[in-house]
Amino acid sequence: MEDCIFCKIIKKEIPSTIIYEDDKVIAFNDVNPAAPIHILVVPKKHIETLLDVSDQDNELISYVYQIINKIAKEKGFANNGFRVIVNCGKDSGQEVMHIHFHVLGGKKLGDKIV
């Protein structure tokens, strides 16, 4: 998608601190971190929101969770725990219309999600 920030990051047209990358997924540090660890895990396929995920994406979305698992273990924050958030649409405040998984950790997070 031409005007999509995350597609531009995927194409390396915008720089980012890449944590992990393969042919299906990229993970990079959030530019405006909300916690000491704030990684965005992004499927390379341009899917706008969670509502646009189809049956064809089942393997891909499952794969995203496998990659989050791998990153958490390899980066050493798996044991302390972390939170995964997907914003969807207006009320969630989703800003970037390319599905992404926020991985937050590195401190005791708030007990409530909202």
Q: Point out which residues bind ligand 5GP (CB under 6 A).
A: 5, 14, 16, 28-32, 40, 87, 93-96
Q: How far apart are CA 36 and CA 44, in angstroms?
A: 25
- The nearest distance, CB 45 to ligand 5GP, in angstroms, is 17
98 is catalytic: no
- The nearest distance, CB 66 to ligand 5GP, in angstroms, is 21
Question: 40-60 in b/e burial notation, b at 16+ Cβ within 10 A?
Answer: bbbbbeebbeeeebeeebeeb
Q: Which does 28 bind (CB under 5 to 8 A by kind): ligand 5GP, Zn ion, none?
A: ligand 5GP
Q: How far apart are CA 13 and CA 100, in angstroms?
A: 18
Catalytic residue among 38, 98, 100, 102: 100
Give the nearer residue to ligand 5GP in terms of CB position, either 79 or 113.
113
101-105 sheet: strands from edge to edge: 18-21, 25-29, 37-43, 101-105, 82-85
# binding residues, Zn ion (CB under 5 A): 6
Q: Which does 31 bind (CB under 5 to 8 A by kind): Zn ion, ligand 5GP, none?
A: ligand 5GP
With binding defined as CB under 5 A, does residue 46 bind Zn ion? yes
The catalytic site residues sit at 100
